[in-house]
Structure 1
Amino acid sequence: MLSLNSQDRDRDDTVTGPSLRDPVALNVGGELYSTTLDTLTRCRESMLGAMFTGQISSLRDRQGNVFIDRDGRLFRYVLNFLRSGSLDLPRGFPELALLRREADFYQIRPLLEEVRRCEEARPLCEGGGPPGAMLLAEVDCKVRVLHFNVRRGPENYELCTCSVRVLTAELFCTWRAFLLLLCGRLSYWTPQGLSAPQLAEPRQNRVRLEWVPRPEELPQDQYNKLRYQGLVVTDPETSQTHPGGPCDVVSERRGPCEVTDTRSFVEELLTVSLAEGFRVESVTPDPADILNCSSLRLVRS
């Protein structure tokens, strides 16, 4: 219970950064949580960042826990987002509007953007996609020959050559929420970590993907220097992502989830689109070899 004694409040209830030590105990609407100052201040410009760096004060309950008078059950998702940087919600999560309100209260801008993105894609979770929606996909692979130097000794450099495959996919869909769902299942892998593909413009129905699987003969530092990036499947329902590169992303459904060629990309695209009610209408160049197509058209029944 929250202490209402004025003397106790003056002495104990003000929360400032220097007075706190890890782990920090919180009472959020009656739900108890334990975390670290680093997690709570991960987003410095947020209300939590200001509270736990001493910029604003708060209260403590009778047990000495920091007290926040908000929805304690939904704070679980707020805290996990601060811990991992990703919003992982159960399928069909029914309280997006309430979670958006909590994200807005705590002024955690990245979380608020993720919640809004989930709201835009919500019709897919509810089976409310429009009949007649059209999906067009064009995939391509171009081979480039690279020449680079490898240091073999203090003054000994060897000229090496290798080929890389630059893979692209151009997607257009009249049902924008489907593209948001697909982008949520895919991530670029870079030395800085994973990042989700973005639609061309906030309100456009197009997305362009470009990625380069790293061949074994190309050193990692050369790959990074050329600013290449890989593509991996990071569907939260079926995969677990670990740092270290595409080969460390493991799916319980299909094993390693690096997208190494256009064939594996088309396979993933078909898996998602067919599950959402699309059917294949045309395939170029060979309808009998759909996974090796260059152009694909699907329509939702």
Structure 2
Amino acid sequence: MFNLNSPDDNRSSLQDPVALNVGGEIFTTTLDTLTRCRDSMLGAMFTGQIPVLRDNRGNVFIDRDGKAFRYILNYLRSGFLDLPDGFADLSLLRREADFFQIRPLLEAIHHHEATLPLSVRGGPLAAMLMVNVESKARLLHFNLRHGPENYVLRTCSVQALAAELFCTWKSFLNLLCKHFSYTTSQGLASPHLCNSRQNRLKLEWVPKPEKLPQDQYDKQQYRGLTVPGAESTPSDEVVNNRWSSCEITDRQGFLEELLKVALAEGFKIDLVVPDPAEVLNCTSLRMVKG
């Protein structure tokens, strides 16, 4: 049995502590907590702007999900969104926060979702990733200037690397485009999918040898490949117009970074060629998710 209180009744009957029955779950809190966001539905209910419903024990009754309300109430108490590891009801919590019109909480949920792996935010139950990596040594001949008319012919070995990736989960390739960056004479540049309609990504780069002058490296239109540094954040200071980053100098370094991202998104190694025991030295790799 439930009783409906008018707005005028609310003003006289609501006092601390407040007992709430939310979907069968009982909570006890204060008016100050419930009205922390004045422009929310809870703020309107507990400042007497709209009527409240009470159960037969006198608790304010709200016909919403009680388990999700626990996190809403804790947010109103502390101003922080505290969720346990592996929290699986984020969509429900977002829906409840939207119902109560608690806009700061909705923003906190959105920020939390942005930090989650793609697989947690929602992705296919099954996906396949195919990777082919090759490395070729090339000899580069160039003139090194020692004076106005004094040039010396030099030879330098460069390592040209290429990785071709196909993935049935296109969002994962887009994630890799954000993780890896090309270094060029103009600064950092993001890779792009081979075709907007294809699930393919090709990366080609040449690490700069120590013996090769920078002007000769740029003249050949070579580019390097980097990933964010271990302690790099968007708030880091920019040095020479580049974020703190780590250069990928060989096939092993690329595969190590790729595996780190893929494993975090729920992929597992399915096939390694030529030697399954030497995954960081492989030429072909197949990973599956699901």
Q: Identify which range, 277-286 or 126-135, moves more after superposition.
A: 126-135
* 1:124 CA displacement: 1.1
Compared with structure 1, are the counterparts of its residues 193 and 216 closer, same or farther at alpha carbon in structure 2 (3 Å cutoff)? same
Amino acid of the residue matched to residue 277 of structure 2? A
Amino acid of the residue matched to residue 154 of structure 1? P
Determine whether 1:172 maps to 2:166.
yes
SS in 2 for 1:232: strand
2: distance between equivalents of 1:263 and 1:241? Answer: 29
Whichever of the two has the greater Rg, that structure is 2
**Contact in 2 for aligned 1:214/1:230 (Cα 8 Å):** yes
Match runs of 1:104-143 below 5 Å? 124=118, 126-143=120-137
Match runs of 1:1-301 below 5 Å? 90=111, 92-93=113-114, 124=118, 126-234=120-228, 238-239=232-233, 240=236, 242-244=238-240, 250=244, 257-301=246-290
TM-score for both structures, normalised by structure 1: 0.55
1: distance between equivalents of 2:200 and 2:231? Answer: 25
* 1:132 CA displacement: 2.0
Q: Structure 1: any 5+ residue segments left out of the alignment?
A: 1-72, 74-88, 95-121, 251-255
Amino acid of the residue matched to residue 142 of structure 1? K
SS in 1 for 2:247: coil
* 1:201 CA displacement: 1.1
Compared with structure 1, are the counterparts of its residues 157 and 228 closer, same or farther at alpha carbon in structure 2 (3 Å cutoff)? same
Identical counterparts, % of pairs: 54
Amino acid of the residue matched to residue 209 of structure 1? L
Aligned length: 180
2: distance between equivalents of 1:138 and 1:124? Answer: 23
Q: Could you say what the CA RMSD is over the residues aligned between the two structures, in angstroms?
A: 2.6
- 1:244-264 deviation digits (Å, cap 9, x = unpaired): 49xx753xxxxx510111101
2: distance between equivalents of 1:172 and 1:231? Answer: 19
- 1:25-54 deviation digits (Å, cap 9, x = unpaired): xxxxxxxxxxxxxxxxxxxxxxxxxxxxxx
2: distance between equivalents of 1:241 and 1:203? Answer: 36
- 1:240-296 deviation digits (Å, cap 9, x = unpaired): 574449xx753xxxxx51011110100011000001010000000111010011000
**Contact in 1 for aligned 2:117/2:265 (Cα 8 Å):** no
SS in 2 for 1:179: helix
Compared with structure 1, are the counterparts of its residues 133 and 235 closer, same or farther at alpha carbon in structure 2 (3 Å cutoff)? farther
Q: Structure 2: any 5+ residue segments left out of the alignment?
A: 1-103, 105-109
